[in-house]
Amino acid sequence: MTLTNMSLVTLAPRLAPTRLPGVSLGASAGVFDEDVSPVTLDARWSEMARLLLLAAMAIVGSIGNVFLISSILIEDHLKQRGNSLIANVALADLLITGLVFPASAVVILAGMRDTQTACSFHWIVSVLCCLVTVLTFSAIAVENLMRLCLPPSWYEVVTPVKISVLMVLIWAVSATVVGLQTFLPIGPDYCHRKFAGLLPYQMTVVVMLVAVPLAVTLLCFIVILVRVNSAKLPPSFKPPVTFSWDYSLMKTNFLSFICFVIFWTPFGMVLEVKSINTVSPRVLYHLAWFALSKSCLNNFLYCVTNRHFRNAYINLFHYCCCKTTVAVSRRPRAVDASRPTGDVRVHIIPGYNMYSYTSPQRAGQAVSKPTAKRTPGMGAARPQRANGREVYEL
């Protein structure tokens, strides 16, 4: 072996292999090798911290979104046909908090760095829920405009069947667009930060399914605010209480829309066709996680800003944690005073007055009590039963 060959052999182990940015050469290290992962957050954090954060976001966000959907079912004023669109937004958020965050936690628990399957799953669900939310917000804005600013005859056109068909159509269109971008090379590669798609198709999707719905939503909410505020100027304007409730809910919807725009606009800007190849992975994936965190906060926004949702949340909390009924407590009936002693009365909350009137604890009290006197003019007093009937107050 010559000196030149010996030098090459000696220097060979010191040469590091060349790899593309963001792509790992070894399968054991995972598909991605960046500090910030699209699946498992920042690699510089400890695994326990990332796992606890993802678990907290999944649990809190999922419970809040379930509460938001359930509030529309149990609160009387929220049981309106147009409010099912709010539940549709909550359902899209529930898919993120119930599927995306738990999937990341599973990847961390499995000890994997990243996988192409997990990243593709994140991207598909996130884009689907984003498109559904954008289109649903435009439908919410139009429905609020028809409810508050147009004659009642116009709002009668909005039937529950039409709203249900509209929601199914929104999910179908969004799923079709996401499916085409997934199975055909016509969309951006979020996992590897590459773009090899059709520019006209992407521009059409952005304009028709994102830009136009956002503009329609903003325009409708601005028209509602201007018309209602101008109608409030005359001192004689006294709207019914239901109008005030609907207007308050509209403002909550507007705040939810603004929150969505604030969280998702930075990530959408870096996904521009010409900038996706040059943007830093740390910036891209940090903005992606920031956008996904909106799904955990939207339900709390409705609870804080709208009293009907807040009352429903309180009732649901008492029902889930205190085992009480969801319905509001009823007023006592006057016929209870004349109810026969043999009736059985049952209360919902267990633990109160557990002993029957024939138990030893109640027997002594019953004997010591004198017979109640009846007022003059009424019938003869009913004889007290010797054996008594068991009256349970559970």
Q: Supply the pLDDT for residue 271.
A: 78
**Rounded mean pLDDT of 374-381?**
48
Query: Phi, psi (5° rounding) for residue 50?
Result: -65, -40
User: At 324, is the pLDDT very low, low, confident or very high (cuts 50, 70, 90)?
Assistant: low
User: What is the reported pLDDT for 232?
Assistant: 83
Residue 213 has pLDDT above 90, yes or no: yes
Report the pLDDT averaged over residues 201-218: 91
- pTM given for the model: 0.73
Tell me the average pLDDT across 298-327. Answer: 86
Q: Name the most confidently modeled range: 186-195, 300-309, 362-371.
A: 300-309
> What's the pLDDT score for residue 265?
93
Mean pLDDT of the region 261-273: 86
pLDDT of residue 2: 47
More reliable by pLDDT, 335 or 289: 289
Those residues whose C-beta lies under 8 Å from the C-beta of residue 350, and which sit 6 or more positions away, are 394
pLDDT at residue 217 is higher than 90: yes
For residue 276, name the pLDDT band (cuts at 50, 70, 90). low
Residue 275: pLDDT band with limits 50, 70, 90 = low
Q: What is the mean pLDDT of the chain?
A: 77
Q: How far apart are CA 389 and CA 300, in angstroms?
A: 50
% of the chain residues with pLDDT over 90: 44
Measured in whole angstroms, how far is the alpha carbon of residue 368 from the centre of its chain?
59
Q: What's the average model confidence in pLDDT over 165-188? A: 90
Interval 33-88: pLDDT, tens: 456 778 888 778 888 999 999 999 999 999 999 999 999 999 988 988 899 999 99
- Give the span between the Cα atoms of 30 and 118, in whole angstroms: 11
Task: Specify the DSSP element, H or E, that contains 54.
Answer: helix 47-74
Q: What is the pLDDT of residue 327?
A: 53
CA 380/CA 200 separation, integer angstroms: 93
Give me the percent of the chain exceeding a pLDDT of 70: 70
Which of 210, 309, 208, 293 minimizes the C-alpha distance to 253?
Answer: 309
Choice among 128-142, 308-322, 338-352 with the minimum mean pLDDT: 338-352
30 vs 193 pLDDT, higher one: 193
100 secondary structure, DSSP code: I
**Sole residue written with tokens 């024939």:** 358
Contact 321, 263 (CB under 8 A): no
Band of residue 328 on the pLDDT scale cut at 50, 70, 90: very low
Q: What is the DSSP string of 347-378?
A: -SSTTSS-S-TTSHHHHHHHHHSPPPPPPTTS
> At the topology level of CATH, where does 36-321 sit?
Rhopdopsin 7-helix transmembrane proteins (1.20.1070)
* 3-class secondary structure, 194: strand
pLDDT of residue 78: 92
DSSP state of 26: -
Work out the widest C-alpha separation in the chain, in whole angstroms. Answer: 132
Write the pLDDT tens digit of every residue in 90-145: 999 999 999 999 999 999 988 877 778 889 999 999 999 999 999 999 999 999 99
pLDDT band of residue 277 (cuts 50, 70, 90) is low
Please say whether the beta carbons of 292 and 94 come within 8 A.
no
DSSP-assigned letter for residue 209: I
Q: CA 299, CA 65: separation in Å to the nearest integer? A: 6
pLDDT digits (tens, 9 = 90+) for 353-372: 444 444 444 445 444 445 44
Which carries the bigger pLDDT value, residue 204 or residue 388?
204
pLDDT value for 326: 55
